[in-house]
Amino acid sequence: MQDREALESLVRRLPKAELHVHLEGTLEPELALRIAERNALSAPFPSVDAARAAYHFENLQSFLDVYYTMTDVLRTEQDFYDLTWAYLTNAATQNIRHVELFFDPQAHLSRGIPFGIFIAGILLALEDAETHLGVTSRLIMCFLRDQPVEDAARVLATAHLYRDRIAGVGLDSAEAGYPPQLFKDVFDQAAAYGMHRVAHAGEEGPPAYIAEAIDVLGAERIDHGVRCLEDPALVDRLVRERVPLTVCPLSNVRLRVVPSLADHPLKRMLDAGLLVTVNSDDPAYFGGYLVENYVEAALALRLTRDEIVTLVENSFTASFLSDEAKAAHIEAVRAAAALP
């Protein structure tokens, strides 16, 4: 599809799931300024325009530096509620019906914010979104792979108190030089708690990290995973085992994982038969939310209508929803896709 308006109308109309979005990466500069002001903090940037103008990144680390700086304005339960609610209300306007949301406890604990404060704000907003917007969710707690493993183990022990409200664990932050196996014991413990396991792998790190995340950490889903194409045997395996890959096109361009959207591997991944989904990662920083990721990728890669519908169906297939809920959502996708 090459008609932008028709494409956008289709993408908006289809009910969608988002499986790879970092709560802290949804913090828009406007909200950050408001929160800084009410917490009597000096603003992390002089103006909203100045913040946006500074959002040019050389690589993952240069983005993370800004991301953690902005995150510092978040202090109270209300701050976390407002941030979560802002993302979810926006998600509802994009017809996102289900969200699996990452958050980074260590980014807050390290600043002295207690687990009970941020989790309370996040959970209340998730409940309100289900009640008032009909958006369902799962919460996935990420470990910062560039921080000590002992910190991750401590966070997991605390999170166990909220076991029924935290569906799974993930692994994020700087990837290269921090192989998944460092977190084997922590992921084993999460598995023993009955939690789902996912991991960022093959974004900046090598394809070997993808296999390691599956084999050593028991990852059920790989976040990004775009570098799998460098290893054909790995691709065969991911296809055979139907391991979902949560791809984030605009993020990959902004963090220079790929040179441009036209070069993005999404289409090649679909052609290879991989179970890929489209996601926004850190939408406040990368120039678009979920609809924009679909539309820009579809235009640049000349995706067909059927490919777009497949990507949207995959978003439910790859989720942690029950089989019944997945089937109901996929039926709704097909019904919406069949409209003229």
Near ligand HPA by CB under 6 A: residue from 200, 264, 267, 326 = 200
Active-site residue, selected from the candidate residues 24, 100, 175, 203: 203
Residue nearest to Zn ion (CB): 281
User: With contacts defined by CB under 6 A, how many residues of the chain interact with ligand HPA?
Assistant: 11
Chain positions 40 to 79 lying near ligand HPA, rule: CB under 6 A, are 60, 67
Determine if 203 is a binding residue for ligand HPA (CB under 6 A).
Answer: yes
Near ligand HPA by CB under 6 A: residue from 71, 173, 277, 293 = 173
Determine if 204 is a binding residue for Zn ion (CB under 5 A).
Answer: no
Distance set, CA 188 to CA 82, 152, 168, 214, 215 (Å) = 33, 12, 12, 12, 12
Q: At its nearest, how many Å lie between ligand HPA and the CB of residue 298?
A: 21
Pick 200 or 329: Cβ nearer ligand HPA: 200
Q: At its nearest, how many Å lie between ligand HPA and the CB of residue 134?
A: 27
Distance set, CA 272 to CA 130, 230, 301 (Å) = 36, 13, 15
Pick 25 or 249: Cβ nearer ligand HPA: 25
Question: Cα-atom radius of gyration of the chain, to the nearest Å?
Answer: 19
Pick 15 or 87: Cβ nearer ligand HPA: 87
Near ligand HPA by CB under 6 A: residue from 212, 281, 292, 296 = 281
Q: At its nearest, how many Å lie between ligand HPA and the CB of residue 251?
A: 5
Chain positions 247 to 306 lying near Zn ion, rule: CB under 5 A, are 281
Q: Which of 250, 247, 252, 225 is nearest to 238 (CA)?
A: 225
Near ligand HPA by CB under 6 A: residue from 172, 212, 296, 313 = 172
**What six digits make up the tokens of 133?**
């917007």
Q: Where is 198: in which H helix or E strand? A: strand 196-201
Burial class (CB in 10 A: 0-12, 13-18, 19+), 295: buried
Q: At its nearest, how many Å lie between ligand HPA and the CB of residue 70?
A: 11
Pick 25 or 180: Cβ nearer ligand HPA: 25
Determine if 18 is a binding residue for Zn ion (CB under 5 A).
Answer: no
**SS3 state at 64:** helix
Determine if 82 is a binding residue for Zn ion (CB under 5 A).
Answer: no
Q: How many CB atoms lie within 10 A of CB 144?
A: 21
Chain positions 89 to 128 lying near ligand HPA, rule: CB under 6 A, are none
Rounded to whole angstroms, the Cα distance separating 163 from 167 reads: 7
Q: At its nearest, how many Å lie between Zn ion and the CB of residue 336?
A: 27
Pick 60 or 308: Cβ nearer ligand HPA: 60
Q: At its nearest, how many Å lie between ligand HPA and the CB of residue 64?
A: 6
Q: Is 203 a catalytic residue?
A: yes
Distance set, CA 114 to CA 66, 81, 97, 122, 290 (Å) = 22, 15, 30, 13, 31
Burial class (CB in 10 A: 0-12, 13-18, 19+), 192: exposed
CA dihedral 76, 122, 63, 182 (to 10 degrees): 110
Q: Which residues contact 16 (CB under 8 A, 6 or more apart)?
A: 94, 95, 96, 97, 290, 312, 315, 333
**What six digits make up the tokens of 15?**
């009910």
Determine if 25 is a binding residue for ligand HPA (CB under 6 A).
Answer: yes
Q: 29-38 and 77-93 are packed helices; what angle lies between their axes, rounded to 10 degrees? A: 160
Near ligand HPA by CB under 6 A: residue from 246, 251, 277, 293 = 251
Residues designated as active site: 203
Q: Which residues bind Zn ion (CB under 5 A)?
A: 281
Chain residues that interact with ligand HPA, rule: CB under 6 A: 22, 25, 60, 67, 172-173, 200, 203, 251, 281-282
